[in-house]
Amino acid sequence: MKDVAVGIDIGATYTKFGLVDEKGNSIAADLISTTKHEEIDPFMKELHEAIQNLIKTIDSELNVIGVGVGAPNGNYYTGTIEYAPNLKWKGLVQFCEISKKYYDKPTILTNDANAAAIGEMVYGGAKNMKNFVEITLGTGLGSGIVVNGELVYGHDGFAGELGHVTYDYNGRTCGCGRKGCLETYASATGIKRTVFELLASSTAKSALRNYTFDDLTAAMISKEAEKDDPIAKEAFEFTGRVLGLKLADTIAHTSPEAIFLFGGLANAGDLIFEPTKRHMENHLMPIFKNKTQLLSSQLQAENAAVAGASALIWKERK
Amino acid sequence: MKDVAVGIDIGATYTKFGLVDEKGNSIAADLISTTKHEEIDPFMKELHEAIQNLIKTIDSELNVIGVGVGAPNGNYYTGTIEYAPNLKWKGLVQFCEISKKYYDKPTILTNDANAAAIGEMVYGGAKNMKNFVEITLGTGLGSGIVVNGELVYGHDGFAGELGHVTYDYNGRTCGCGRKGCLETYASATGIKRTVFELLASSTAKSALRNYTFDDLTAAMISKEAEKDDPIAKEAFEFTGRVLGLKLADTIAHTSPEAIFLFGGLANAGDLIFEPTKRHMENHLMPIFKNKTQLLSSQLQAENAAVAGASALIWKERK
């Protein structure tokens, strides 16, 4: 019997899930639609059946030791998904309570960025670290903060919302209803907004003038920056500046050994790492300079969120 | 035999020390000059003798269970005072190592704001809290962050430097060499700087026009604000705004149950609490609103730093 943890990553469109061993290897994975069911109960039933079907595809006998879940607005303390704006299920969703109907093993839930942080600690680049920060750069900016080897959940389960520290009190409108939040600058959407601001303010020639806002992606900006497009390059410089400045504040809070960048925009490599690190170091007080590493996540991008979620279970075993 | 912990608060001018019981009561206290000795060894000898003399003044028999020390740039992990700009002893001072010559009981050292946080947890208003932040508003701004019932020291022992998160990247020059640090606005010195800025920019009549920069104190500004002096009132409003905005960022990091304000400027009561709380709440993302209390420290102001330092020892007993 091989021990595996189920990892579930609930996204706005798809819910991905998989069977993950203690080294973070994916044994099998699949997905279902998140949007098909208006209510949580039929969704949970379909999800459970799909997981059972996945287990049947494996020849060897498996022992499921628990279910780890990453979900938007997931609350670790209560096991609930709370008022997630991008999900159909409204209000407080009792995910872990409902999960008990299907599993006699523990179900542990948190948000996706916290799950990535735990994944980094259990399988990834933070295996030997007690104090680090994981930053997920996707459509928005998520984060998980680890202190003394434990994830920081805060008194209510919602700590680590670095996407919503403020860069500019008169800045860009954020989906959270406020202005100038970090994620309106440092995220795949943020860098698109920066490109459009630069296209408006500058007269420089740029291949990026050929894209609509909806068609433009962070990967396209990255590709043009590698071809020395001036707007694309300036957009990365500005994004790195904003991220670096705010990471200096984060270091003044928890003084982490490393900050890991994870997700789409992090794949731009030096284009994002170099300016972020430069501006971060320039804005650190002397006592913190040249101490905190800025690193690429070591979680495999494919299924990383599922692996992260499964790590919630494996971490309890350590 | 009564158990007591020695608390030592090393300031730039005086080193205060005392014998503190497990409830935080001061049994006896005294002080020596910090500046008399250019070298650490003779200072430690004098300090030890003074503590022994203090113990002799007590009729009942005392059992010293350990020595807790709050010092500028004190490093909890290494027991050293590191490059403290306001102390005569330069470089790395091996405080805990030297202390072993005099005591066979543990000596534990950290910075003064961390000691205040531990004091709040052991004797004060945070007795039943696992997640809170202590802000000390003195000449500068210090802080101690508690997560999961433990102080956050970070990977290097220097976490919790909220005096040096940045409010304005083009703002006031800070003693740390950077610009716009929170403590250049939110501290006894910060509010003096704000008063002088307002006296320059406004034509309002104000009793504060009669003071030199060096003579002006936060207590005087507080006294004039209570008499409805427009400059003094505006200075508190601005100070509370800056502090509130940056505390909103801190809540996004660790989501504390409460934030305690401690020290000189905190004694201004509603003058500082009201605008700080209002601006903090206005700048929190919805998920954090009306959850984090802003409270007055429950440590007794007199000898609070000594009591805080002694709590480092009592905390180990819990």
Distance CA B244, CA A180 (A): 16
pTM attached to this predicted model: 0.94
User: What percent of chain B stands above pLDDT 70?
Assistant: 99
Cross-chain Cβ contact B285/A178 below 8 Å: yes
For chain A, what is the mean pLDDT? Answer: 94
Cross-chain Cβ contact A154/B129 below 8 Å: no
For B:146-185, CB contacts with A below 8 A are 147-148, 150, 152-162, 164-166, 169, 176-178, 181
| Assigned token pair, A42 | 């039929």
Residue to mutate among B110, B146, B253, B279, with most A CBs inside 10 A, is: B253
- Enumerate the domain spans of chain A: 2-122+302-317, 132-296
Q: What is the mean pLDDT of residues A184-205?
A: 97
Q: What is the mean pLDDT of residues B183-211?
A: 97
What pLDDT is attached to residue A91?
Answer: 87
**For residue B126, is pLDDT > 70?**
yes
Q: What is the mean pLDDT of residues B224-253?
A: 98
In chain B, residues with a C-beta closer than 8 Å to the C-beta of A150 are 147-148
For chain B, what is the mean pLDDT? Answer: 94
Q: Does B278 touch chain A (CB under 8 A)?
A: no
Q: How confident is the model at residue B91 (pLDDT cuts 50, 70, 90)?
A: confident
Distance CA A57, CA A69 (A): 22
Cross-chain Cβ contact B253/A160 below 8 Å: yes
In chain B, residues with a C-beta closer than 8 Å to the C-beta of A285 are 161, 164, 176-178, 181
Q: How confident is the model at residue B304 (pLDDT cuts 50, 70, 90)?
A: confident
Distance CA B181, CA B113 (A): 17
Q: How confident is the model at residue A309 (pLDDT cuts 50, 70, 90)?
A: very high
CA distance A176 to chain B (A): 6
Cross-chain Cβ contact A250/B250 below 8 Å: no
Cross-chain Cβ contact B286/A257 below 8 Å: no
Instruction: Name the residue type at position A93.
Output: V
> Residue A135's closest CA among A263, A242, A301?
A263
In chain B, residues with a C-beta closer than 8 Å to the C-beta of A283 are 166, 169, 178
What pLDDT is attached to residue B184?
Answer: 97
CA distance B90 to chain A (A): 15
Q: How confident is the model at residue A60 (pLDDT cuts 50, 70, 90)?
A: confident
Q: What is the mean pLDDT of residues A14-38?
A: 93
Q: What is the mean pLDDT of residues B277-296?
A: 96
| Interface contacts A/B by beta carbons within 8 Å | 141
CA distance A13 to chain B (A): 23
Write down the architecture of domain A2-122+302-317 according to CATH. Answer: 2-Layer Sandwich (3.30)
Q: Does B293 touch chain A (CB under 8 A)?
A: no
What pLDDT is attached to residue B289?
Answer: 96
Q: In terms of CA atoms, which chain A residue is nearest residue B160? A: A253
For A:63-82, CB contacts with B below 8 A are 73, 82
In chain B, residues with a C-beta closer than 8 Å to the C-beta of A152 are 147-148, 253-255
**For residue A301, is pLDDT > 70?**
no
B132-296 shares the fold of B2-122+302-317: yes
Q: Does A255 touch chain B (CB under 8 A)?
A: yes
Per residue, the 3-state secondary structure of chain A, as one string, reads CEEEEEEEEECCCEEEEEEECCCCCEEEEEEEECCCCCCHHHHHHHHHHHHHHHHHCCCCCEEEEEEEEECCCEECCCCEEECCCCCCCCCEECHHHHHCCCCCCCEEEECHHHHHHHHHHHCCCCCCCCCEEEEEECCCEEEEEEECCEECCCCCCCCCCHHHCECCCCCCECCCCCECEHHHCCCHHHHHHHHHHHHHHCCCCCHHHHCCCCCCCHHHHHHHHHCCCHHHHHHHHHHHHHHHHHHHHHHHHHCCCEEEEECHHHHHCHHHHHHHHHHHHHCCCHHHCCCCEEEECCCCCCCHHHHHHHHHHHHHHC
pLDDT in tens, B142-187: 999 999 999 999 999 999 999 999 999 999 999 889 999 999 999 9
Given B165, B256, B285, which is nearest A252 (Cβ)?
Answer: B165
For A:95-114, CB contacts with B below 8 A are none
Superfamily of domain B132-296: ATPase, nucleotide binding domain (3.30.420.40)
Q: Does A128 touch chain B (CB under 8 A)?
A: no
User: What percent of chain A stands above pLDDT 70?
Assistant: 99
In chain B, residues with a C-beta closer than 8 Å to the C-beta of A288 are 156, 158, 161
Q: What is the mean pLDDT of residues B282-309?
A: 90
In chain B, residues with a C-beta closer than 8 Å to the C-beta of A245 are 166, 169
What pLDDT is attached to residue A83?
Answer: 85
**Residue B26 in 3-state DSSP?**
strand
What pLDDT is attached to residue B300?
Answer: 73
pLDDT in tens, A237-271: 999 999 999 999 999 999 999 999 998 899 999 99
Given B73, B145, B245, which is nearest A166 (Cβ)?
Answer: B245
**For residue B302, is pLDDT > 80?**
no
What pLDDT is attached to residue B301?
Answer: 66
